[in-house]
Structure 1
């Protein structure tokens, strides 16, 4: 099935200057770099974009800038999640640019630790409020709550505009249970760069990737080969990037990917607290791995 969220989505970073303000020129270059190297869609205002430390005006400025630079070349997905259901719904109702985007990505409510019924009701309200397709985002390592296969399938069957899940649980049995029992028009998307190849082999439709910020062409080629059932080609490409992906998240995300983008002269290596750059030792290790990939 061809889905508008098939292939390689990129969870795009937000570049900053040393003083913490947003570096819009680097953002422009980064968006063009992604699109010119064959990615399929962009995901804006996710964890990788440090959305948690941007205020409302800054989020709007980044979204509007990317809409303008993208100029409808690829679909855009906007991160709209949180742990206050009514506030998330309010944000969805008041979003200003639905004509320019293809969907929203909504992370499971973090910190509160709701029950599976609470998760179902949370996403029910989001589905009913959203005029565009909704992608669920399951990332228990960040939220302390897992959207179970049963809850995912229940949401997929009950709400037509809940069209996909970004699965970053790392639980392959759970992922297989969803793929095995999901409706035909519901997509499973990898939220884990290292597991993207095996997940596509099992029936996932692509990835929302961090590593593709720096290696859009290489990672897209791997994803496309896997989707085309060219398993040996995909496997070779997978292992070419595997070690760098293994070292990407060692000192947090987006610390690793920003270090690599800095090594590749695409951005300055700046963050907003509580995020900080990787250590000098890890930076040197990433530098070595980047030179090996090249």
Structure 2
């Protein structure tokens, strides 16, 4: 479970999920020795999909023999609970959930948020992303959530070396590298678990990319953003590249470009 692929979601021109292409993408990655998939998370797509897309995807994944992770961001408690019950019924392995997002959140409201979600009984990876939630969660609060609830790990989008070291020492849970841009720095402090969008591209040599070529990508990109990865994959699809040789006879497909 060291490397979780944050898989991009192929869509049709009308904005609906392209289920055939999604299946073939999954088969392509399985062929390339990947078995841990995060859907709707880390790729900037979450906001693009409707409620029914979540229900349809969770139902769709039930029949696939892979490790399934679902990312949730900025959903109401009522809707999220319905989704989580469905996830539990359909044997989703883990959930990646950002803290509640509204005006002026505080320690008490965030604690109650995870307390309610914990009642479903599924392990949660905390998506630690202060820039998006508008609130800097304290170490004390994270430790309290960890000690009281079914808390599995942290995906730290800040990627501050000092902060990751503190998480490792005091929280004592799995720490996932939260941004491909910092893979080398995190590996240097022995954080080897990743939730990676870069893994969509050349998955068979992802470990090599992780170890040796990240520095090159950092030279040519200001940031290793999902937008770049989705553009590359779309171009490869349109050009019928050998990279997508497993997708023969599948129509050209596209990816949401929600990030700017």
Separation (CA, whole Å) in 1 of partners of 2:31 and 2:192: 21
**8 A Cα contact 2:9 2:17, kept in partner:** yes
188, 205, 229: which one aligns with 2:175: 188
38, 42, 46: which one aligns with 1:43: 38
* TM superposition shift of 1:244: 5.9
162, 171, 187: which one aligns with 2:151: 162
1:136-162 alpha-carbon deviations (Å, 9 max, x no partner): 111123222233332222222222x21
Separation (CA, whole Å) in 1 of partners of 2:220 and 2:2: 21
Q: Tell me what 1:258 maps to.
A: 230
Establish whether residue 52 from structure 1 lines up as the match of residue 47 from structure 2.
yes
**8 A Cα contact 1:43 1:79, kept in partner:** yes
Q: Tell me what 2:166 maps to.
A: 177
**8 A Cα contact 1:11 1:42, kept in partner:** yes
Establish whether residue 239 from structure 1 lines up as the match of residue 230 from structure 2.
no
Runs of 4+ in 1 over 6 A off after TM superposition: none
Q: Tell me what 2:247 maps to.
A: none
Structure 1 stretch 84-93 or stretch 16-25: which is displaced more?
Answer: 84-93
* TM superposition shift of 1:222: 5.2
1:138-187 alpha-carbon deviations (Å, 9 max, x no partner): 1123222233332222222222x21111111233322211111123xx20
Separation (CA, whole Å) in 1 of partners of 2:14 and 2:109: 40
* TM superposition shift of 1:10: 1.5
State TM-score, norm by structure 1. Answer: 0.73
Separation (CA, whole Å) in 1 of partners of 2:96 and 2:164: 18
* TM superposition shift of 1:260: 1.2
State TM-score, norm by structure 2. Answer: 0.82
Higher RCO (CA < 8 A, seq sep 6+) = 2
* TM superposition shift of 1:121: 2.0
271, 275, 278: which one aligns with 2:256: 271
Separation (CA, whole Å) in 1 of partners of 2:140 and 2:202: 35
* TM superposition shift of 1:194: 1.2
Q: What is the SS of the residue equivalent to 1:57?
A: helix
Over aligned residue pairs, what C-alpha RMSD do you find?
2.6
1:87-125 alpha-carbon deviations (Å, 9 max, x no partner): 4334323x1553432111111122334112322221122
Count of matched residue positions in the alignment of Structure 1 and Structure 2: 247
Q: Tell me what 1:23 maps to.
A: 18
Separation (CA, whole Å) in 1 of partners of 2:121 and 2:2: 23
Separation (CA, whole Å) in 1 of partners of 2:114 and 2:135: 14
* TM superposition shift of 1:237: 3.9
Q: Any unmatched runs of 5+ in structure 1?
A: 1-5, 224-233, 279-294
Q: Any unmatched runs of 5+ in structure 2?
A: 238-243, 245-251
* TM superposition shift of 1:241: 4.2
Q: What is the SS of the residue equivalent to 2:127?
A: strand
Q: Tell me what 1:208 maps to.
A: 195
Q: Tell me what 2:249 maps to.
A: none
Residues 22 and 199 of structure 1: is their aligned pair in 2 closer, same or farther, counting only changes over 3 Å?
Answer: same
Establish whether residue 132 from structure 1 lines up as the match of residue 122 from structure 2.
yes
